Amino acid sequence: MTKPLATNCLPVDAVILAGPTASGKTDLLDSMFGAGVAEWLPRLRDAWSIDLQSVHVLSADSMQAYRFMDIGTAKPDSGLKKRLVHHLIDMKNPDEQYTAGEFVARVDALCTELAEQHILPVVSGGTGFYLMNFICGLPSAPPSSPEIRAQVAQELEHAGTAALRAELARADPEIAAKIHEHDVYRLTRAVEILRSSGKPPSFFAPQKVPRQGKRFVVLGVTRPRDELLLRIHARVEAMMKAGLAEEVAQLMARGYSREDPGMQAIGYREFFELSGRPLETISEAIELHTRQYAKRQMTFFRALPGIQWIAPEPEQLFRALAEAAN
């Protein structure tokens, strides 16, 4: 006889689904809770013995937060968003900053709100830094003063990133080496921390243990390397055919430039760096950078505390979720 469904809170605060770009996170969630919701939601409801109403996706992709950037960020299309509710998409203009602190605050609030409605939040995406901060809490780095922030911004505008990177490298070579050459936000933030506190940014390293009082199921989607590389190649080709070049041209026409936070994304910055070059050359650069990024993602994800690795198959995801109530 089926156990009666309890109306108490969810057994976890959130499910976290990590995985490198093109690993199949979106398709997996659609298979279970979008197109396949009629099959899998009742199974999960029975496994947990609770009145689970629905599943919502909270995007942990730092670039899907930007408006007008649909193709290059592989946002869920309108059909998928009708089948499966997504949050934290299209919140910012490309010239606005989206920080890990804002991400954590928004996700915490959404998780509380959804739990009250018996809706399971699945935090899914490939921005490992955001996921680590959500799981373990934000580092205790001090805020920089408005004066220092303005000073750093003025130096950046007049002299570019070279002097700021050199300053950071002298004080904290480890952190400087980890900041990508195009990641202007992290570079300027690190310099602000250095000048505000007088200490290297690595002194304020992120926490490595989950926050007390929180319960997460942390899952990583994995594929064989050769298979992932083929999927990355296919994704880049599909983006180019879907009109990525036209999307970037429209962004430029709106006045966005290579210095804007959104334009730092892979798939967009290459059009600025290789302006005037053939589309084939730009496509090859996007694929190369995406492959390199996927490798860095996997390295970062392995450090997520408690991560369990699954193939992108609904049955594997279901088993991992069913065990969460034990």
pLDDT at residue number 311: 97
* Interatomic CA distance for residues 79 and 84, integer angstroms: 9
Burial (Cβ within 10 Å: 0-12, 13-18, ≥19) of residue 82: exposed
Q: Give residue-wise pLDDT tens across range 154-211.
A: 998 888 899 999 999 999 999 999 887 778 888 998 999 999 999 998 888 777 899 9
pLDDT surpassing 90 at residue 292: yes
The position carrying tokens 């303005």 is: 150
Side chain identity, residue 186: R
The position carrying tokens 């809170």 is: 9
Arithmetic mean of pLDDT over the chain: 93
The answer to whether residues 115 and 7 touch, using CB atoms and an 8 Å cutoff, is: no
Give percent of the chain above pLDDT 70: 97
pLDDT at residue number 142: 78
* Interatomic CA distance for residues 11 and 269, integer angstroms: 42
The answer to whether residues 270 and 293 touch, using CB atoms and an 8 Å cutoff, is: no
Q: Give residue-wise pLDDT tens across range 236-272.
A: 999 999 999 999 999 999 999 988 999 999 999 999 9
- The β-bridge partners of 16 are 123, 218
Which two three-digit tokens encode residue 317? 């995801």
Which residues lie below 8 Å from residue 184, measured CB to CB, with a gap of 6+?
A: 156, 161, 259, 261, 264
pLDDT at residue number 318: 97
Which two three-digit tokens encode residue 308? 């369990």
pLDDT at residue number 1: 42
The answer to whether residues 217 and 12 touch, using CB atoms and an 8 Å cutoff, is: yes
| Helical segments of the chain, H only | 25-29, 37-48, 78-83, 100-116, 128-136, 146-159, 162-171, 173-178, 184-197, 225-242, 244-253, 269-273, 279-301, 314-322
pLDDT at residue number 5: 53
> Which among 141, 148, 143 is positioned nearest to 203, based on CA atoms?
141
Which two three-digit tokens encode residue 295? 């490798």
Burial (Cβ within 10 Å: 0-12, 13-18, ≥19) of residue 181: exposed
pLDDT band at 84 (very low <50, low <70, confident <90, very high): very high
Higher pLDDT, 17 or 324: 17
